[in-house]
Amino acid sequence: MFEHVIVGVDGNEGGRDAIALARLLASPDARLALAHVCMGDALRTRGSTSPYGTAERDRGIELLERERAETGIAAQLHVVRSASVGRGLHVLAESSGADLLIVGSCRRGLLGRVMVGDDTRAALNGAPCAVAVAPAGYALEPAMMQEIGVAYNGSPESEHALAIGQRLAAESGARLSAFEAVTLPAYLFLGGTEPVEDSVAQIVERAREKIAALGGVEPHAAYGLPVEELTLYSASLDLLIVGSRDYGPIGRIVHGSTSGDLARTARCPLLILTRAARAADPSGDASGVAGAALSGGL
């Protein structure tokens, strides 16, 4: 499990979803923190004692204290000022050495305001940590860890995801499965040449056999677009783990698919292992993974 989790909170439902997921992924003795970002230029306002800045900080502390009391979570409180929510939480996660960044989604779209603007995306893409996304309404359902799934395709990123999945499954007593979404090269469809059904079935079966050979993992494979197939797969899971080829959590996930799609469509909590998280964990387990938690609607 993760040892230092930061949850971004703004008073909306996404923050409660992120807190609920933090309870599930954090180790029993983990350091938990709730963070609220006040919008503004941190450099210009550093050391400022203006009435507006003080009042804004007081409102942030009041919000965090209310969330802590109502959820009953034992956590430190942080109010950060930054030009963007994503950047502020990224800086806080980096400076505090957090090892899990949890993001709550909302019905307005992936991460709510966190995803508005290229500057915020850039800040998140540089996150030196793993990132988890809690689906909308997660706090209203009982948090369980009965089955963990891993997006697998034999790449180093998916191997790392499998190693983390194995550790989390061992610690929680959950079942572990892995899934590969099989796609065919575009050239097979050119010049009137189309793959026959038996060929597709054989490719899918070989992918399933490859996963089964790993041992201790329930194998799954299907033909189709990775995001669509992984979304269907996630409906039967309590946690889906994916490895990112990019530096950030909202980079290209597993098969090179578009960044935000799976985080937006997954039916269960999503744990994204960024390139930086993998680099910080050369042993292949979660002990070196860095991260922090972000709430949705920020």
Sheet holding 147-151, edge to edge: 76-82, 26-39, 2-8, 100-104, 131-134, 270-273, 239-243, 147-151, 175-182, 218-223
* pLDDT recorded at residue 74: 94
pLDDT (tens digit per residue) in 36-73: 888 776 544 455 555 556 888 899 999 999 999 999 99
The domains of the chain are located at 2-288
pLDDT (tens digit per residue) in 90-118: 889 889 988 898 878 755 544 444 433 34
* pLDDT recorded at residue 147: 97
Quick one: which H or E segment has residue 150? strand 147-151
- The owner of tokens 């979404």 is 181
Q: What's the one-letter identity of residue 135?
A: P
Q: What is the pLDDT along the chain (298 residues), one digit of tens a residue?
A: 799 999 988 888 888 898 999 999 999 999 999 998 887 765 444 555 555 568 888 999 999 999 999 999 999 999 998 887 778 888 898 899 888 988 787 555 444 444 333 433 444 566 778 888 888 889 988 788 999 999 999 988 899 999 999 999 999 999 999 999 998 765 455 555 555 555 888 889 999 999 999 999 999 999 998 889 999 999 999 999 998 765 444 444 433 443 457 777 889 999 988 776 777 775 554 444 434 444 444 4
Q: What does pTM read for this prediction? A: 0.81
Paired tokens of 102: 């949890």
Q: What whole-number distance in Å separates Cα of residue 215 and Cα of residue 201?
A: 22
For residues 143 and 21, the answer to whether their CB atoms sit within 8 Å is yes
* pLDDT recorded at residue 113: 42
* pLDDT recorded at residue 54: 81
* pLDDT recorded at residue 34: 94
For residues 254 and 155, the answer to whether their CB atoms sit within 8 Å is yes
* pLDDT recorded at residue 146: 95
239-243 and 218-223: which strand pairing?
unpaired
Paired tokens of 278: 């993998």
Q: What are the phi and psi torsion angles at 189 (to 5°)?
A: -100, 0
Q: Rounded mean pLDDT of the chain?
A: 78
Handedness of CA 85, 87, 90, 96 (dihedral sign): negative
CATH domain 2-288 topology:
Rossmann fold (3.40.50)
* pLDDT recorded at residue 43: 46
Radius of gyration of the chain (CA): 20
